């Protein structure tokens, strides 16, 4: 538990550091340097960390890690006898698996955000103001945290964009259940009902 708490603190500190870099450092000189053939580790690193598009991705991933770590921590103290069901992770899942799944969920949040922004405007990040940057990373990071903390929200978010295969499977089960009942009751002499 101490290791998990330490990892959570490091994740939050890393999020704050990356946020500060994205808020205060203009990535244009580094990106221009790369475009003009000055491919150095400094230019690559600063363009990767400070450019709004990649900075938001990093912050989403860190938020997903923070959400997954928060999910593994109990909501009550260990001395409480009545721990709410579902307040801690399943003993079958390791913390590493939960954190990795949280990162993947948060990356999907970022992809949904980025695709929506680029559909709306092709040059959305050409001249990002600090206010725009703050709104972008705050909203995406919050959603990334939530879908990693409570994975059922992830299913709802995906359901906004496309019907889930689970819904189709449930419909298939209910129709097959009706077919098997019909065949048991003698509809068609034991043959399947073509409905």
Regarding whether 184 and 116 lie in a shared domain, the answer is no
pLDDT per residue as tens digits for the range 38-59: 999 999 999 999 998 899 999 9
Residue 27 domain flag: yes
Instruction: Sort 181 into a burial class: Cβ within 10 Å, 0-12 / 13-18 / 19+.
Output: exposed
Range of the domain at 180: 166-195
- For the question of whether the overall pTM of this predicted structure is more than 0.75, the answer is no
Regarding whether 151 and 66 lie in a shared domain, the answer is yes
pLDDT of the chain, 195 residues: tens digit per residue: 678 888 889 999 999 999 999 999 988 899 999 999 999 999 999 999 999 889 999 999 999 999 988 888 776 555 444 444 444 445 456 778 888 888 888 898 888 888 887 777 777 677 788 888 888 899 899 989 988 888 777 777 677 666 655 545 444 444 344 433 344 344 444 444 444
Residue 44 domain flag: yes
Regarding whether 103 and 186 lie in a shared domain, the answer is no
Regarding whether 37 and 71 lie in a shared domain, the answer is yes
Instruction: Sort 90 into a burial class: Cβ within 10 Å, 0-12 / 13-18 / 19+.
Output: exposed
Contact between 151 and 105 under an 8 Å Cβ cutoff? The reply is yes
Residue 83 domain flag: no
pLDDT per residue as tens digits for the range 138-167: 989 998 998 888 877 777 767 766 665 554
Contact between 117 and 83 under an 8 Å Cβ cutoff? The reply is no
Taking the CB of residue 27, how many other CB atoms lie within 10 A of it? Answer: 22
Give the three-state DSSP class for 188: coil
Say how many domains are in the chain. 2
Regarding whether 61 and 25 lie in a shared domain, the answer is yes
Nearest of 96, 180, 147 to residue 192 by alpha carbon? 180
Regarding whether 170 and 157 lie in a shared domain, the answer is no
């Amino acid at each position: 538990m101490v290791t998990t708490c330490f990892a959570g603190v490091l994740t939050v500190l890393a999020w704050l550091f990356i946020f500060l870099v994205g808020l205060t450092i203009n990535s244009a000189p580094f990106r221009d340097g790369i475009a003009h053939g000055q491919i150095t580790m400094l230019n690559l690193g600063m363009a990767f960390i400070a450019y709004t598009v990649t900075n938001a991705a990093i912050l989403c991933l860190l938020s997903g890690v923070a959400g997954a770590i928060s999910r593994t921590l109990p909501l009550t103290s260990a001395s409480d006898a009545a721990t709410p069901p579902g307040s801690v992770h399943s003993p079958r899942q390791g913390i590493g698996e939960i954190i990795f799944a949280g990162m993947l969920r948060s990356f999907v949040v970022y992809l949904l955000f980025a695709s929506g922004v680029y559909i709306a405007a092709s040059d959305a990040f050409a001249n990002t103001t600090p206010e725009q940057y703050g709104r972008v990373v705050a909203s995406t990071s919050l959603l990334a945290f939530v879908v990693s903390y409570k994975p059922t929200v992830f299913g709802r978010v995906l359901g906004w964009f496309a019907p889930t295969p689970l819904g189709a499977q449930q419909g298939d089960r209910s129709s097959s259940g009706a077919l098997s009942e019909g065949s048991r009751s003698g509809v068609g002499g034991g043959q399947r009902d073509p409905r």
